[in-house]
Structure 1
């Protein structure tokens, strides 16, 4: 139990001290291995072995970065930015809520997950700066859209999340049909809606002016729009490539094939000259390479925690001291989920771990299926928002930091942790009591 808590706290502490998140996760993973009885070499070996678990995701993010740079090259984002600037200039709240709505669509209606962020957000940075928008509010809006829909709605990624919960609960002895999961998750998910409104209209409502220093590794001129371009054949062909990539992704259920088909179409339709291929790939790697490698190292950390048995031991001990069906028990179980998900970095990967031990315990103390679902779903969702290793935070940072002026930990992770984990915890407790 101590191993998980200490290693996750080390990761969080180092990240808050502005140590690079890759180094923070690496140190936390090795620490977890050593505390579990492994030597230094074995700990590192276990971490490296686990990195392959997210190889597909990392490759898809790199290809999406390349595709995003090609779309920016086409000029279509310039048309979008100019139109938004004309319509939404001065309407800060409406702009941010529109971004939140677009992010929601990426989970359910058009399941592209974070793929839209490096395409849509970098060209909008100029708008944010002109309107003095606090980018922390935008990060909160994006994370809300990447998370809340799959928590509450069983469509797209939400279907996977709800189906996983239903299957794991049934396999562990509790009958919970898929079409009933949303009833249990509606209350916890409503807490995230409250958190979104607090972040956008209270906490980060005031104008914020960023300093002019930028990360020279990324050329900000790639994302600036000097004048409104015309919408012509090149932009139409770009839309064809985007739609084609989306269709391939949905048909093959693969971000990799979706992004790769989009890249091929951009070359085939001559939107991007083949001679610029190297530049597009280099800029795409600069844009998304960091997030891809963080996902790899986070997978390694997760492997250390699970293979050494540290996570199972933590959940078992927490359950054994919880007692009967009361608020304190529910609170302990939710906090366990928060710590585990912060370390593993994915709600989807946490569900099987929690269900295996939470379901038998909840059956023994008399929790209803709906209350148990609320506990497992909320415990798994907590920590995804705010985790340095989660794509719910890495995705927003990849877009908002395109000009090097948005810090992953202090501008994305801390705001999303505060505004979503706290209401998830409180509303999760309420759900456990009333269901």
Structure 2
């Protein structure tokens, strides 16, 4: 039973690397996990489908945010931003990647919209990337850094939620710790992500990479038309709609309500004609629908791993072989966290699962509460960057592949896995041993 998670996750990763569609890869891995756990194929499929509702809220949020992004791009306001970036960033590739990482970081704490900004900002910039011969793998790494590092390092916005889940997992399982100590525990693992970003920007993806035309044009940026665009009343009203959507999201705590308010204001202000409503929603579904469906299927996969007891069996079996060697215990627990998160695709969803089993193991082995927090937080975050089913990789791909030149697995997942999960693992391991 303890091998179910290992075999199914490796199968999903191998199929994805062989360029099998990520949705099919997850479905096949889920069915294999179910069958290995004692279910027949029909029961495995039924459990997969029943578990898909766990991410229904997230999936609908992404579709509506995609429609909101299309409506914003319709006004041409993004072309103004792109024109400005082209003027000041031409020939400054490393600076551009760092700026993208910085903008992405704002989406987790200052303006907590998560991946919703990507389909608004990135497709119009593809023209600039190609002109500057920017390696889009570097852009993917920069975007994923901004989607993950802030919630690891900063206890605000999504970071407050993440740190709160770690805190709850520790306290509910017998550890004594404060929220401030949880925040301190994640500083060293977060530094690992910074190291990974700098390696990607200044070493791995610094060279020019030329992208040939494939006949598609989904960049949403027309240089000739944009030359005549200047900020006007329509763009001002668009800004009001964006601010209104943000305020509604913060007050309600719902991305769905925020997106609906934003769309409603766009139509109410006549920034977007009512006659374009069907096309905008359709384009929004086309832009974000595949991500939404991957999230739904991944939720079903996670349900199979959890409800069949496969995750519990893996952690319990691992703990039986650990003894009292702290270095070995930390290494194995992080490896288990990586496997689980790669399968489930959500660091936030993984922590409650592993905390109940990690905390007793860590406390009995003599780890301090802050070291235990570092282990749990790092184990949860591992796999979020690099998992084919994670929105931290699906989001960047949705923007970078708008013109069909970017592969989800080889151009997003592999670069983000190597540049973030490896340093995260090493720095998290050191944090657990020295804190």
Report the TM range for the smaller structure's normalisation: over 0.9
Gaps of 5+ in 2: none
Structure 2 counterparts to residues 19-168 of structure 1, below 5 A: 19-168=20-169
Secondary structure of the structure 1 residue equivalent to 2:383: coil
Q: How many Å separate the matches in 2 of 1:261 and 1:250?
A: 12
C-alpha deviation, 1:225, in angstroms: 3.8
Secondary structure of the structure 1 residue equivalent to 2:111: coil
- 2:251 matched to which residue of 1? 251
8 Å CA contact 2:189–2:427 kept in 1: the answer is yes
Q: How many Å separate the matches in 1 of 2:220 and 2:279?
A: 12
8 Å CA contact 2:125–2:219 kept in 1: the answer is no
- 1:431 matched to which residue of 2? 431
* Alignment length (residue pairs): 432
Gaps of 5+ in 1: none
Q: How many Å separate the matches in 2 of 1:221 and 1:327?
A: 48
TM-score by structure 1 length?
0.98
Q: How many Å separate the matches in 2 of 1:115 and 1:2?
A: 36
- 1:302 matched to which residue of 2? 302
C-alpha deviation, 1:325, in angstroms: 3.8
8 Å CA contact 1:123–1:225 kept in 2: the answer is no
8 Å CA contact 2:126–2:219 kept in 1: the answer is no
Q: How many Å separate the matches in 2 of 1:250 and 1:9?
A: 38
Structure 2 counterparts to residues 162-311 of structure 1, below 5 A: 162-213=163-214, 220=218, 222-226=220-224, 227-228=226-227, 229-311=229-311
C-alpha deviation, 1:130, in angstroms: 0.7
- 1:387 matched to which residue of 2? 387
Moved beyond 6 Å, runs of 4+: none
Change (3 A) 1:104 1:23: same
C-alpha deviation, 1:230, in angstroms: 1.1
Q: How many Å separate the matches in 1 of 2:249 and 2:68?
A: 13
Deviates more, 1:87-96 or 1:41-50: 87-96
TM-score by structure 2 length?
0.98
8 Å CA contact 1:47–1:301 kept in 2: the answer is yes
C-alpha deviation, 1:209, in angstroms: 1.0
- 2:313 matched to which residue of 1? 313
Which string of whole-angstrom CA distances, capped at 9 and with x for unpartnered residues, describes residues 86-113 of structure 1? 0111111111101101111111111111
